[in-house]
Amino acid sequence: MGPITTAIVSRAIYDLLLAGISFTKDNIKKKLTEFITSDENAELLAEKIEKLNVNDDMSEKAIEKHLKANPEVMNVLENIPNASIVSVKQTHYGTGDNVGRDKIINGNNE
C-alpha cells in the first residue's frame, strides 16, 4: 500500500489520541473502517496497532515512523487490496469552493 496508506493510518491513530479516546482494538478498528472497507483487514491492522507503543505525546510523523518500523504492520498494509480502500473523487465546475462535507469558517459550520 505504501506511504500514502501509512500516512492515513498514522493520522487516524493521531486523531484517536488527540480526542482522548481509549486506544483499544475496537476503537482503532472503528476509526480505520473510515478508510479501509474490509472488516477483516481493519481488524487485523487494529490488532497490530494496539500492540504498538504510541502515546498522545507523539506527532503524526512520529506515529508514521513507528508504523513503518514495525514489519508486522507494514505486512498487513501491503496485503490490503486496493479495492478495499475508500477513495473520494470530486469534480467542480464553476466558482466557489469544492467542499465535500461541512465547511468550517472561523468556527462556524456551513
Ranges of residues in the chain whose predicted pLDDT is under 50? 1
Amino acid at 36: I
Residue 76's pLDDT is 83
Cell of 23: 486506544
25 with 38: CB under 8 angstroms?
Answer: no
Residue 56's pLDDT is 82
Amino acid at 51: K
Residue 96's pLDDT is 72
Residue 4's pLDDT is 65
- Phi and psi at 19, nearest 5°, equal -80, -10
Q: Could you give the CA distance from residue 73 to residue 93 in angstroms, rounded to a whole number?
A: 40
Residue 75's pLDDT is 86
Quickly count: other Cβ atoms within 10 Å of residue 38's Cβ: 16
Residue 87's pLDDT is 64
Place of cell 478498528: 29
